[in-house]
Amino acid sequence: MRRILFLVDFFVILFALSAVLGMLTAYDRSSGYGPMVAVVGSAVLYLIIAHLDMAWSTARRISVLLLLAATLVTLIFILQYRYQNYTDTPRFILRLGGFTTFLPNLNFSLPHPNAVATLIEGILPFGLVLVASRRRLTIYRILGLACSLVMLYALLLTFSRGAFVAVIASVLIAFLSRSRRFAIVAGLGIFVMTIIFYVLYDLQSVAVIEDVFSWAMGRLELYQNSLYVASDYLFTGIGLGNTFAMVYSRYGLLIQVPFLTYAHNLLLSVWMGQGLLGLVAFIGLLIAFFALVIRVIRRAHPPSVFYGAWMGVTATLIHGFFDARQYVESAWLMPTLFLLIGLTVTTGRLMIEEAMIPERPVSPLQNVLAVVGVVGAIAAVGVVFNRQIVAAWNTNLGALEETEGELAADLSDEKRLSHYEVARSYYRDALAADESWPNANRRLGNLDVRLEDFDDAVPLLEKSYAREPANPAAIKGLGLAYTWVGQIDDAARIFSLMSDPARMVEELDVWGYYRSQQGDYLLSAYAYETAQTMRGDVVSVPAWMRIGGVYLQAERLDDARRWYERVLEVEPNNADALQILDEIGATG
């Protein structure tokens, strides 16, 4: 037990340290202070709670206070719901929330519904175990029932599908851990909530299933694309703060504007915000935490406070697979998670101490062998994958330089170009270690495209696409490189593999207009022609005339003639096309 407690403490401290390092790697460091303070403060809160000389009465009071505080937050959420303008919520939920908005508008700016759902799922088990753990109708059972009903109703109003899944999964886990009474009470509450949900949902069940399926597919696509981005910053992450939105858009989707503000997955958020060290620390913490929970359940008969705490952590982590607001509303969601972990640890320790279960002695040789085994495994990985590790490290450094150069505020053009050149140097070092490393090929190729070294970009992006055929940044990057070197058919073929080719057609038209405004008439013609090729057999005389016009401005007379003659195939008497062809010396 002591070894498990030590590991939990160790990983919590390591997690806090990775947050400090994570702030230093962000291109917008000023926005990283809040999350960093939240993580470090949460670690301190855990250490205080986990190592307090606490009595059972104190632990129960803490759980009741948490339950009351969460209920107060959810009551405010319910009573001010109508005024919050939650645009992504179904109309029937909005109507239901409007009926129970009994207070006038107090001008509260409430958090996102998913943040409220995250709080509810963590604290709700305390209310459920209060109901399930008392045999007589006491004030505690009444309190637990009232708070649970309020939070279940608020959970319905959040319309957080990930939270629904988390609560239901937690009930199943509670059943498997032999807390059947808790599972029955929680299951009844969820059953009632589900019945209300389907009665009020004014749609066919097929539509509900389609909605959930679409949501799940969207999440999977986001996670896959985020993994590609995270692998570019494998060791350091992108840093804490408001970094995800622009990094994901620029290097994951190759678009200029923010698309999503956070990764919607707790493990991805940890990795991208706090790097590989933070991810290892967090996973190690979870393994040690659940090892402690299993040890306590097997060796003792833990009371309701212990069950409420560890089930709250479990529900939060399950929800974290679908959504993760801990780095958005970090000031109160991150401390809540670590407080629950600390309460689980301290009540588990109390249970083992009261049961007076003897600790199995561990010889120093076992500890030495464990350390040697871990170090040996790390060394073996380093030897076997040395080239890949060097390539990944240099790609990581190059990605940080490129991100700083492109996204950091108030940099001069000279300074930005300096960052780009340093990034290029790192990418080339990565390819010197492993010439097939897809991340370095993709990042260097896309950077070459941005700096208009198109011929150099094509072979790099071809290698990247060969290794990452599902990566949107590899697909779009190669398509753009083909476009700018005039390989129109190849560009159209690659762009057709994107998830939304029609939107790419629109973007190419924008590129065509932008290039023509900049005087890059040949590149403008390539963009317009690629867009037209993607449209297939669609007849558009104005588009054809436009393509011919920019080729003419680029002094590519043969290409201009080709498009004007195409116009005459459908409009033989088009005066503008006839005049231009006559001026440039058309034949036939």
What CA–CA distance (Å, rounded) separates 262 from 328? Answer: 8
Tell whether 349 and 471 lie within a shared domain.
no
* Residues whose CB falls within 8 Å of the CB of residue 372, separated by 6 or more in sequence, listed in order: none
| pLDDT at residue 205, rounded to an integer | 46
Please say which residue of 498, 520, 539 terminates a domain. 498
Contact 174, 311 (CB under 8 A): yes
pLDDT digits (tens, 9 = 90+) for 223-273: 899 999 999 999 999 999 999 999 999 999 999 888 788 888 999 999 999
Tell whether 382 and 421 lie within a shared domain.
yes
CATH of the domain at 446: 1.25.40.10
Contact 8, 293 (CB under 8 A): no
| pLDDT at residue 450, rounded to an integer | 94
What average pLDDT does range 498-506 have in this prediction? Answer: 93
The pTM for the full model equals 0.87
Residue with tokens 């909605």: 211
What CA–CA distance (Å, rounded) separates 59 from 354? Answer: 15
What average pLDDT does range 557-566 have in this prediction? Answer: 92
Instruction: Judge whether residue 201 has pLDDT over 60.
Output: no
Range of the domain at 460: 362-498
Contact 184, 130 (CB under 8 A): no
What CA–CA distance (Å, rounded) separates 385 from 189? Answer: 51
Tell whether 295 and 427 lie within a shared domain.
no
| pLDDT at residue 386, rounded to an integer | 77
| pLDDT at residue 298, rounded to an integer | 81
pLDDT digits (tens, 9 = 90+) for 111-140: 889 999 999 999 999 988 888 775 556 888
Question: What sign results for the dihedral spanned by CA atoms 512, 513, 517, 521?
Answer: positive
Tell whether 115 and 139 lie within a shared domain.
yes
Instruction: Judge whether residue 371 has pLDDT over 90.
Output: no
Tell whether 462 and 523 lie within a shared domain.
no
Residue with tokens 């009903």: 149
**Structure-model confidence comparison of residues 266 and 165, the more confident one:** 266
Tell whether 507 and 406 lie within a shared domain.
no
Tell whether 189 and 223 lie within a shared domain.
yes
Tell whether 109 and 123 lie within a shared domain.
yes
| pLDDT at residue 203, rounded to an integer | 47
- Band (80; pLDDT cuts 50, 70, 90): very high
Q: At residue 329, what are phi and psi to the nearest 5 degrees?
A: -95, 55
What average pLDDT does range 278-302 have in this prediction? Answer: 89
| pLDDT at residue 184, rounded to an integer | 60
What CA–CA distance (Å, rounded) separates 452 from 481? Answer: 9
pLDDT digits (tens, 9 = 90+) for 28-56: 888 889 999 999 999 999 999 998 888 88
State the total domains in the chain: 3
Contact 574, 568 (CB under 8 A): yes
Instruction: Judge whether residue 144 has pLDDT over 80.
Output: yes
Tell whether 138 and 167 lie within a shared domain.
yes
Please say which residue of 287, 321, 355 terminates a domain. 355
Tell whether 14 and 163 lie within a shared domain.
yes
Tell whether 318 and 374 lie within a shared domain.
no
Contact 151, 193 (CB under 8 A): no
| pLDDT at residue 206, rounded to an integer | 44
Please say which residue of 498, 513, 545 terminates a domain. 498
* Residues whose CB falls within 8 Å of the CB of residue 487, separated by 6 or more in sequence, listed in order: 458
Instruction: Judge whether residue 207 has pLDDT over 60.
Output: no
Per-position DSSP letters for 327-388, written without gaps between them: TTSHHHHHHHHHHHHHHHHHHHHHHHHHHTPPPPP--HHHHHHHHHHHHHHHHHHHHHTHHH
Residue with tokens 């670690």: 43
| pLDDT at residue 398, rounded to an integer | 97
Mean of all residue pLDDT scores within the chain = 86
Tell whether 102 and 145 lie within a shared domain.
yes
